[in-house]
Amino acid sequence: MPRNSLGACPRAPTCLHISGALRERFEICPGSVHDMLAALGLDALSRAQGEAVTSDPSTPLQILAGPGSGKTRVLTTRVAWLVHGDEHRAPVPPERCVVVTFTNKAAREMQQRLSALIGADTTARLVLGTFHATCARFLRQHGRRIGLENNFTIADADDAKRVMREVVKSHEEIIQAKGLQLKPEQALAEVSRAKARSLSPSSFRARGAAGGARASAAQQDYHALVSSVYEDYQARLAELQALDFDDLLTYGVRLLREHPDVVRNVEHVLVDEFQDTNAVQYELMTLFAAAKRHISIVGDPDQSIYGALPLPGAQLTKQGGGMPRWGIWRG
């Protein structure tokens, strides 16, 4: 139950103290969910929000709601609830929670919110960051298992442009002979789209060959050119022992596919702004959660970039609480 700093806790040996800004205000025992939320100052959550926060961790959960409805707040509170535990459920060790979002700014904001809820030390133990940062973390630790040295460099946007500019220039003779146009920026966009669909250079070339009968001669020439550029671009990055941002994801998928044991201890995966996931990020999410299949995602399908990808077998339940388009899917 919530107590102020002057109150005694009847179950003091098992009390958990709230860290951060609330440290001096409350201490709570691992009792009811309501007590925990009240102690955290979050008992003002709507009924739908509270239900989402405390939904059975063993069941996949998808939360759909509009802008300003408190989606990220719900997700961070759910992380705190998972790490805290209660009388019916043991705490989840922070290092066994993978918490993913899409931008560095969003990751920093989430880190700040969680630090206020569970303390900076506990928050630092979470696997928390963008998809790219999370993959980089696992690749630094386990990349050698797929032939990647752990001291690889990450090619930023300027580095990638510079490498692609060299590669496209090396194909200038073919470009002119075929009467084609391919700028470095265009080539990078083509390669990025291929990687977002989990297409390797060989898979990308094969897909073009498979559709050759329906394509014009110019389209076939263009696809063959992009395929060669893609192959040479990847070869040049390998020479530099570098990965571009898209490679972090595709290599992450490869690592988890071939060596699923590296995430065998992951107990829960939580994803913010899920509507922005592409195919490779969706696969990463499922691979991270492969051991337990404990997944919580939040998003707004009306803001989707690629199209919403609902959890398999989920059923939508509309919730009230005065929140715009608030819904919960349970697997």
Taking only the tens place, the pLDDT of each residue in 233-258 is 999 999 999 999 999 999 999 999 99
- Are 54 and 138 part of one and the same domain? yes
Choice among 123-127, 133-137, 187-191, 289-293 with the minimum mean pLDDT:
289-293
**Secondary structure string (H, E, C) spanning 285-298:** HHHHCCCCCCEEEE
Answer with the one of 209, 240, 271 that is the final residue of a domain.
240
- Are 120 and 162 part of one and the same domain? no
Whole domain around residue 289: which residue ranges? 46-145+248-330
- Are 89 and 215 part of one and the same domain? no
Total number of domains constituting the chain: 3
- Are 38 and 50 part of one and the same domain? no
- Are 94 and 52 part of one and the same domain? yes
Answer with the one of 240, 260, 285 that is the final residue of a domain.
240
Give the β-pairing of 268-271 and 127-130: unpaired
Q: Does pLDDT of 14 surpass 70?
A: no
- Are 158 and 275 part of one and the same domain? no
- Are 100 and 227 part of one and the same domain? no
Q: Does pLDDT of 140 surpass 60?
A: yes
Please tell me which residue, 6 or 278, carries the higher pLDDT value: 278
Which of 144, 139, 281, 170 is CA-nearest to residue 235? Answer: 170
Q: pLDDT band at residue 316, thresholds of 50, 70 and 90?
A: very low
pLDDT at residue 3, as a whole number: 31
- Are 51 and 6 part of one and the same domain? no
- Are 222 and 93 part of one and the same domain? no
What percent of the chain shows pLDDT beyond 70?
Answer: 76
- Are 76 and 140 part of one and the same domain? yes
Q: pLDDT band at residue 38, thresholds of 50, 70 and 90?
A: low
Please tell me which residue, 321 or 163, carries the higher pLDDT value: 163
* Secondary structure letter of residue 89 according to DSSP: B
Whether residue 64 contacts residue 70, with contact meaning beta carbons closer than 8 Å, is answered with no
Report the alpha-carbon distance of residue 252 to residue 303 in Å, rounded.
26
Q: Does pLDDT of 173 surpass 80?
A: yes
Q: Nearest-5° angle of CA 306, CA 311, CA 313?
A: 135
CATH of the domain at 121: 3.40.50.300
Give the CA-trace dihedral at 274, 123, 79, 62, to 10 degrees.
10
pLDDT at residue 27, as a whole number: 33
Answer with the one of 201, 218, 240 that is the final residue of a domain.
240
Burial class of residue 150 (count of CB atoms within 10 Å of its CB; 0-12, 13-18, 19+): exposed
- Are 33 and 53 part of one and the same domain? no
Task: For residue 273, give the 3-state DSSP assignment.
Answer: coil
pTM of the model: 0.79
Q: Work out the widest C-alpha separation in the chain, in whole angstroms.
A: 84
- Are 138 and 260 part of one and the same domain? yes
Q: Does pLDDT of 30 surpass 60?
A: no
Task: For residue 327, give the 3-state DSSP assignment.
Answer: strand
